[in-house]
Amino acid sequence: MVEQYGKFAYIYDELMQDVDYLKWANYVEEIIIKNNIESKKILELACGTGNVTIPMAQKGYNIVGVDISQDMLTIAKSKSIEKNLNLLFIEQNMVDLKLKEKFDAILSMCDGMNYITDINDLIQVFQNAYDVLEDGGVFIFDISSHYKIKNILGNNTFGENLEDLSYMWENYFDEESSIINMDLTFFIKDGKYYRKEEEYHIQRAYKEKEIIEELKKIGFKEIEAYDGFTFDKPKNESERVFFKAKK
């Protein structure tokens, strides 16, 4: 897994401003309560700029954020300070996670697992999560579904003109490998002119069955998959799938 958020980190929040992150935090809390997790010590993997970390902290959870991108963590820390929150953010690749303490819940939100394109690396992340969970702890994460990546993002091009920013997003999906390559070009207003920035992102489309199978191999139990932000089973055309697994 390589870092794919460099300069993009500094415009990420502007691009994602319509996302209701409080809805994400509320849903995660529902899952935590539903699974009788009483303690409030949480680890968030691939925490990005803290968009879920911060509302979870505001709910009273003792949460630590981990991300591979120093740029994303710099922004997350700055945002947390603005909210008068003293949060710990750690720069680590979740494939090579090295933490001594244990947690009651582990989260990974907003496609974090899709960015792990090697199945062996994904298995290692599952093992890492299992190792740092307390007995009875819960692992909660989501993916953009195979359906969404193949049929909606697929071989498509997207673009938008915002107030100080325009972007073009070109996707190339390889069905054999289930890998989507995303070329992102940004034009950012800089005084009178626009500055061009480019990034290249790679994700993998995973099917629900293969994820559940690997979680079981690690030793997780009570594994459930949900259609996005509900407690219903995923449908064939679900675009986001959440997973819950207990140690």
CATH number at residue 177: 2.20.25.110
Average pLDDT over all residues of the chain: 93
Question: Quick one: pLDDT band at residue 1, thresholds 50, 70, 90?
Answer: very low
pLDDT for res 7 = 59
CATH number at residue 120: 3.40.50.150
Whole-structure pTM value: 0.93
Q: What is the pLDDT of residues 175-218, one digit of tens each?
A: 999 999 999 898 888 888 888 888 889 999 999 999 999 999 99
> E strand or H helix at 135, and its extent?
strand 133-144
Q: Is residue 4 part of a domain?
A: no
Residues 137 and 242 placed together within one structural domain of the fold: yes
Residues 232 and 112 placed together within one structural domain of the fold: yes
Residue 174's domain comprises 148-203
30: tokens are 């529902």
Q: Is residue 2 part of a domain?
A: no
List, in sequence order, every residue forming a beta bridge with 188; answer none if it has no partner: 165, 195
Sequence-ordered list of residues with C-beta below 8 angstroms from that of 176, at least 6 positions apart, any chain: none
Nearest Cα to Cα of residue 222 among 193, 206, 245: 245
Helix, strand and coil in the chain, % to nearest 5: 30, 35, 35
Q: Amino acid letter at 128? A: N
Q: What is the pLDDT of residues 40-68, one digit of tens each?
A: 899 999 999 999 999 999 999 999 999 99
Sequence-ordered list of residues with C-beta below 8 angstroms from that of 214, at least 6 positions apart, any chain: 119, 122, 123, 126
Residue with the bigger pLDDT between 50 and 163: it is 50
State mean pLDDT over 94-101.
Answer: 96
Q: What is the pLDDT of residues 77-90, one digit of tens each?
A: 999 999 999 999 99
